[in-house]
Structure 1
Amino acid sequence: MSPNGSAQHRASSKKATKGIVAGVAGVALLTAGGASFATWQDDYLAEGSIEAGELSLETGDAAGSWTLNGREVTSAHIAALRVVPGDQLVFSDTVVLTAEGDNLKATLRTSLGNVGELADDVSTTFTVRGTTYTQAGALVEEISGNEGTMELPVSVTITFPKEATGGQGEIFDFSGTGLLLQQTA
């Protein structure tokens, strides 16, 4: 072999080696850089949206009112009242019930809450839409599906019977007394 042929062979080998190294480096860069070899792709995305329903119980536009033995009492004076046997205290209001949901099921019940010591000495009744309920937890309404919005006239009557012998100095706590709206399905 001539000295010239050997040098040409080495130069050609160096070029080939450089080409292979460059090709490997290029593939590595393409792969690491997130590029891909040509492939086809397509997608299908669902369109539209859904909206969650609503289940709520709120007071109406006007504030509720209190009466003691048929006379109006301002809510600011309720805490100062001292009832005696024979008194009847009534709270009246209009509540707005909203029930929206295709598969909604709910119940509306009376709730007496934690009324305190005086509860044993008084009777409490609830009147909703003209129907009177005499016990806490009574089923007022079963709601199914899209009932929409409805106004419910409501009153809670607390009667301290004239013949009561107990209850002096005891307290009736109104918190938790009213209506309980609860989803069941």
Structure 2
Amino acid sequence: MKKTTKGALAIGAGVVLLIGGGGSLAVWNQSVGSEAGTLQAGNLALTAGQGTWTDAEGQAVDLASYRVVPGDTLTYSQPIGVVLEGDNLKAELTSTGVAESGFDSQNIEVSDPVLTTTAGDPVPATLSESGQFEASISFEFLSTTTGTDDTLSTHDFENVGFKLEQLDAGAAA
């Protein structure tokens, strides 16, 4: 057999395989566009105004000169602005920087933060809406303190603050 005959047979066999063997010389296809939109992230923000200390009678206290004694309760209050923008967004407000220092822990009690509306109504610790609130924590020098326990002790509130943290969607249900 001649070389040209062998080449023609090979080409013909290849064409037969393509056409008859499941291959195709042409395919149809089509695509369509989508208008899925734009996804936008939400926002979580916390702002704080000037805080103040008061005693149990609501009188202003200057920590630089005030000397606490057993039975005293002092409260720190601070205006807080909360921004929560997002579907299913829930957050919790906690206090920071209230760690005990020189006082014996059995003689003092530092509260968790308490949130109220500007009208004084209580707000749950788990927030789901933006708003203006008043955050406060209390320091109580327990009246059960005996003898001269904790005389000249100190408790550093220089780093007191508040933290707003998103809750896990599963935990926020």
Equivalent residue for 2:22?
A: none
What is the letter of the counterpart of residue 53 of structure 1?
G
Residues 114 and 176 in structure 1, CA contact (< 8 A), matched pair in contact too? no
Aligned to 1:67: 54
What is residue 154 of structure 2 aligned with on the other side? 171
Q: Is the 8 A contact 2:98 2:110 kept in 1?
A: no
150 and 115 in structure 1: CA distance in 2 versus 1, 3 angstrom threshold = same
**Which residue number corresponds to residue 74 of structure 2?**
89
* Deviation of the 1:175 alpha carbon: 4.3
**How many Å separate the matches in 1 of 2:95 and 2:125?**
7
What is the TM-score when the length of structure 2 is the normalising length?
0.57
Question: What corresponds to 2:44 in structure 1?
Answer: 55
Q: What percentage of residue pairs aligned between the two structures are identical?
A: 29
Cα deviation code 1:117-176 (max 9, x no counterpart) = 3261212234322549xxxxxx81143xxx3x2112222221212331322222212245
Q: What is the alpha-carbon root mean square deviation over aligned residues?
A: 3.2
Matches within 5 A, 1:25-44: none
Conservation of the 8 A alpha-carbon contact between 1:86 and 1:162:
yes
SS in 2 for 1:118: coil
Partner amino acid, structure 1, of 2:144: E
Task: Count residues in correspondence.
Answer: 127
- With over 3 angstroms needed to count, the CA separation of the structure-2 counterparts of 1:179 and 1:119, relative to structure 1, is farther
8 Å Cα contact 1:122/1:161 also seen in 2: yes
Shift, 1:47, TM fit: 10
Amino acid at match of 2:73: Q
How far the C-alpha of 1:103 sits from its partner, in A, is 4.8
* 2:141 counterpart residue number: 160
CA deviation profile, 1:81-131 (whole Å, cap 9, x unmatched): 321112221112221111112353432334464231326121223432254
Q: Give the partner amino acid of 2:131.
A: M
Q: Show structure 2 runs of 5+ residues with no match.
A: 1-32, 169-173
Please give the alpha-carbon distance, in whole angstroms, between the structure 1 residues aligned to 2:43 and 2:83: 7
**Residue of structure 2 in register with 1:180 after alignment:** 163
**Which protein is richer in helix relative to its size?**
1
CA–CA distance in structure 1, aligned partners of residues 135 and 45 of structure 2: 16
1:100 aligns with 2:85: yes
Larger radius of gyration: 1
> Could you tell me which amino acid in structure 1 is paired with residue 151 of structure 2?
Q
Q: Rate the CA distance shift 1:162–1:52 in 2: closer, same or farther, 3 A.
A: same
> Which residue matches 1:30?
none
Partner of 1:12: none
Distance 1:117 1:94 in 2: 28
Could you state the TM-score of these two structures normalised by the residue count of structure 1?
0.54
